[in-house]
Structure 1
């Protein structure tokens, strides 16, 4: 059994390759991406743009496993067209590749973005209502994978994961920005402290991926991937400060003032350092996603939330979170 990881040079792909190399000796790991990420010999890099037909001059068997991480995902940050072209065309070409070689297992990393922005609890059975180009493109990509599975539904296994905020070494995203904002005394609670932010540690996520894809369930499975219950922004900030030894007083300021300030700073170049009006707006809306299905799936979590933060801190020699 070999592993084909589309988008393997990214944040999650890098951690999955590390995990597979340590735990699946004897298997070949192929990283198919447009950017080569040095994995110190842990994977075989193949330059591959998923927006085009995928043709590989290497053996592929029906027992191999495909992980699809290839996506444009930073939002805001890209023209609408980019999300649709990469995320939808990529799903079409990757499932066509699986079809060609009769590969029977695909794990697709989607997002919680298809649920749309609202305060209500989101279960896997919640009707998707995406309200961004990214969320729409991810929902269409999910359906594309489902069509692939349905063509031979007695033989094919499809696992779709919808992670909350994924954090860990190399993330350079929401948790990293939060840490540095707190450290530099630039973070304020935007109007409230109880905003729920569903999240999952990247090392926990890749462990769960391998756990699910190795089961024998020939079907379509969808899992929200987040700690259960999800934590509030205040709980996340307090844990982050405690684990990294920071002593900070975080003040709550009216949301309107913060949005105005972000707009002014953004107009003068603040977007380049992560101060973007759309990101401030996102901070004010909960990502209230249930992780009960993952919690009761038979998978044993390896890290608590605080242990995950501490492990991430250790990965940076206990100097910072990045």
Structure 2
């Protein structure tokens, strides 16, 4: 870390970015945030910039290493071109500005969605087979950055996290936890499918360690282990929040999928989004279990176990919530 004077965090106003920047503050590392929205926690560090607008990037970036967190990733984006403009063209613009400014290292957050519905325990050598625009465009962004890396004496670290959760995040994991807490949750399918997860306190530590890596190129899945089955995860949450054992009532997969398709049709007609959809049902019952080479990254040790991350999140969100805490709405 000592060789970098200032870290440029693109997309630093979001959930991962804010927590990552907090870690930089805690370790007394200088940084700047480039984002289309103001950082609530670090407004004095934030500059307005848009990865889709190369001129704004040229004016804003003043660091000597870039962490690129910017992405369009929600399932419900109606204009599919937005995935390309931000994820692919945006990554290409970042690479161009890095070349112009002689910045020779980028840490890029991609996603395990590049593997699609992958076989359990897929590692970094797994087949690239994305099933949605998010996964497709994030891999295309990786390719743009690999081209940049190979075009000069540059260093590139690509991190492919699985689903990230933690305090203040209002994404898919929170939605699941909230459904369980409300007592309205119904398990879909047998619940033996395993879900890889990544706690925010660990992913930010991993990103910081990537900045220190001497490797000129590396790709890492990021997963906190051991993976839990859906039955184990739901049972843990029900026990912690409701004092109840097991996963509770469940629906057959075919019936849950039918409800998802009906919700899709209603959304198309009315424009109203629902908490259930066919793609969300498919994702819920799928094995999303990945292996990670994170232990090959010298100097990294996860600060939290997965169990600690889950308990921290449940305590912060449901058992002792802070009404003044910053909230981030993501998928």
State if a TM-score over 0.5 links the two structures. Answer: yes
Q: Contact 1:68 / 1:108 at 8 angstroms: preserved in 2? A: yes
The partner residue of 2:9 within 1, 5, 9 is: 5
Q: Give the deviation of 1:57 after TM superposition.
A: 4.2
Gaps in structure 2 of 5+ consecutive residues: none
Match of 1:132 in 2: 132
Matches within 5 A, 1:200-279: 200-217=198-215, 219-247=216-244, 249-265=247-263, 267=266, 272-279=273-280
SS, match of residue 193 in structure 1: coil
CA distance in 2, matches of 1:186, 1:263: 20
Deviations 1:165-190 (A, max 9, x none): 10012321111011111112222222
1:16 lines up with 2:16 in the alignment: no
CA distance in 1, matches of 2:183, 2:77: 25
CA distance in 1, matches of 2:321, 2:61: 43
CA distance in 1, matches of 2:60, 2:294: 35
Taking structure 1 as reference, are residues 157 and 286 closer, same or farther at Cα in structure 2, changes over 3 Å only? same
Match of 2:36 in 1: 34
Taking structure 1 as reference, are residues 54 and 203 closer, same or farther at Cα in structure 2, changes over 3 Å only? farther
Q: Contact 1:243 / 1:306 at 8 angstroms: preserved in 2? A: no
TM-score normalised to structure 1 length: 0.89
Q: Give the deviation of 1:250 after TM superposition.
A: 1.8
Q: Please, which moves more after superposition, 47-56 or 163-172?
A: 47-56
Q: Give the deviation of 1:141 after TM superposition.
A: 0.2
Matches within 5 A, 1:1-322: 1-25=5-29, 27=30, 29-40=31-42, 44-55=45-56, 56-57=58-59, 60=62, 64-152=64-152, 155-217=153-215, 219-247=216-244, 249-265=247-263, 267=266, 272-291=273-292, 293-298=293-298, 299-316=300-317, 318-319=319-320
Taking structure 1 as reference, are residues 142 and 92 closer, same or farther at Cα in structure 2, changes over 3 Å only? same
Deviations 1:54-110 (A, max 9, x none): 44446736xx22111111001143332111111111101111111111112111000
SS, match of residue 308 in structure 2: helix
Taking structure 1 as reference, are residues 117 and 147 closer, same or farther at Cα in structure 2, changes over 3 Å only? same
Deviations 1:232-266 (A, max 9, x none): 21222223334445426522321111122334456
CA distance in 2, matches of 1:244, 1:48: 41
Q: Contact 1:105 / 1:158 at 8 angstroms: preserved in 2? A: yes
SS, match of residue 131 in structure 2: coil
TM-score normalised to structure 2 length: 0.87
Q: Contact 1:4 / 1:32 at 8 angstroms: preserved in 2? A: yes
Gaps in structure 1 of 5+ consecutive residues: none
CA distance in 2, matches of 1:137, 1:3: 25
Taking structure 1 as reference, are residues 230 and 166 closer, same or farther at Cα in structure 2, changes over 3 Å only? same
Q: Contact 2:51 / 2:93 at 8 angstroms: preserved in 1? A: yes
Deviations 1:24-82 (A, max 9, x none): 24x2x2111111121145x5111111111144446736xx2211111100114333211
Q: Give the deviation of 1:308 after TM superposition.
A: 0.8
Aligned residues: 313
| Coordinate RMSD, CA, aligned | 2.4
Taking structure 1 as reference, are residues 59 and 15 closer, same or farther at Cα in structure 2, changes over 3 Å only? closer
SS, match of residue 22 in structure 2: helix
Q: Contact 2:192 / 2:231 at 8 angstroms: preserved in 1? A: yes
Q: Please, which moves more after superposition, 258-267 or 185-194?
A: 258-267
